[in-house]
Amino acid sequence: MAKQKTEYNYENRVVAFVDILGFKDILSKTVDKDNNDVQLQIDRITDAYHSMRDVWDLDEELSNENPDLKKAYEEIKTN
């Protein structure tokens, strides 16, 4: 059986990003005025990312134990 090709209908959209949490400023602190890495700042961002990822991994583990949570988790991941 041949795989059906999915056809998508795209529309032109405008997207604006408002940096209310200050991510641009946080990232700008990862290099000094001579464009050298500031390892302490990079490590802080990396640690924060890993902490968030650990929470999501925990959510996934818990959702695997409960079918209703698993369904909700899968919906979140696909949106």
pLDDT value of residue 54:
72
Domain ranges of the chain: 23-78
| pTM given for the model | 0.48
Cα radius of gyration (the chain): 20
pLDDT value of residue 28:
93
pLDDT value of residue 42:
93
Give CA angle at 71 (15, 2), nearest 5°. Answer: 80
Handedness of CA 29, 34, 40, 42 (dihedral sign): positive
pLDDT digits (tens, 9 = 90+) for 21-55: 898 999 999 999 999 999 999 999 989 888 887 77
